[in-house]
């Protein structure tokens, strides 16, 4: 038997116990995010918070190699100001609100240890990042007939759509009390965005009229997100163990 065949046979014997467990081929997940800006980006933005979701499909019967797609949003800054407006009926209060954030999407390979108490994984994606800032005029809840805040006007005042590369890693472990093979997911993802235009908190200035002055910043906009979430396996793969 050649050296190559011996290596293949050894790997098959090593992985057979994993295959016998019938690893799930598909999985969905959701996680909360804490964003940490890097380099020049950290000089203008302190932190961010958000959510992401992912879906994966395994390409082998063991669940080791898979294709994963991720969609996430991190809010970077938010400012608001109440102001008084006038119409034919008199004076009433409105609120101007400006929100900046980054929408991310990427797809790429992932390698995972599919069984055991601790299941590490590494991966990477190619996709996009969209840095955008929106300004809205809102009717406060105490002024609204519905008792809820109502958006009267919304405008995108800054937007930049760029290529984004990511590298990620983390660990997963089972949560027996949740059933269905649900896993906790603890990890980090580095976003290599390069140069982008965005609006920081300091780039939004209000003057009492409800019309903010927006000053975008252009710099490198790399960041890391720290993730805490769950992964839900969907179904079981068909596994055949050859003699």
Q: What is the pLDDT of residue 15?
A: 44
Q: What is the pLDDT of residue 133?
A: 95
Q: What is the pLDDT of residue 187?
A: 97
Q: Identify which of 195, 220, 216, 219 has the alpha carbon closest to the alpha carbon of residue 204.
A: 216
- For the entire predicted model, the pTM comes to 0.81
Q: Does 32 have pLDDT greater than 90?
A: yes
Instruction: Indicate the fold that domain 3-234 takes in CATH.
Output: Porin (2.40.160)
The per-residue pLDDT for range 140-161, each reduced to its tens digit, is: 877 777 778 888 889 899 999 9
Q: Does 62 have pLDDT greater than 50?
A: yes
């Amino acid at each position: 038997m050649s050296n190559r065949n011996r290596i293949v046979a050894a790997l098959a014997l090593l992985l057979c116990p994993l295959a016998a467990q019938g690893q799930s081929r598909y999985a969905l997940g959701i996680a909360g995010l804490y964003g940490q800006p890097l380099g020049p980006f950290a000089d203008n933005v302190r932190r961010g918070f958000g959510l992401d979701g992912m879906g994966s499909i395994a390409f082998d019967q063991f669940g080791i190699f898979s294709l994963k797609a991720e969609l996430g949003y991190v809010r970077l800054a938010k400012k608001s100001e109440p102001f008084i407006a006038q119409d034919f009926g008199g004076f009433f209060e409105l609120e101007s609100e400006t929100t900046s954030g980054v929408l991310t999407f990427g797809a790429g390979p992932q390698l995972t240890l599919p069984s055991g108490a601790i299941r590490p994984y590494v991966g990477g994606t190619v996709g996009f990042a969209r840095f955008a800032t929106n300004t809205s005029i809102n009717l406060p809840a105490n002024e609204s007939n519905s008792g809820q805040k109502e958006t009267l006007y919304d405008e995108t005042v800054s937007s930049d759509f760029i290529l984004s590369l990511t590298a990620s890693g983390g660990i997963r472990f089972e949560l027996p009390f949740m059933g269905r093979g649900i896993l906790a997911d603890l990890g980090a993802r580095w976003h290599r965005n390069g140069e982008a235009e965005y609006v920081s908190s300091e780039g939004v200035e209000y003057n009492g009229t409800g019309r903010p002055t927006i000053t975008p910043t252009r710099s490198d906009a790399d960041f890391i997100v720290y993730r805490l979430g769950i992964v839900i396996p969907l179904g079981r793969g068909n596994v055949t163990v050859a003699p």
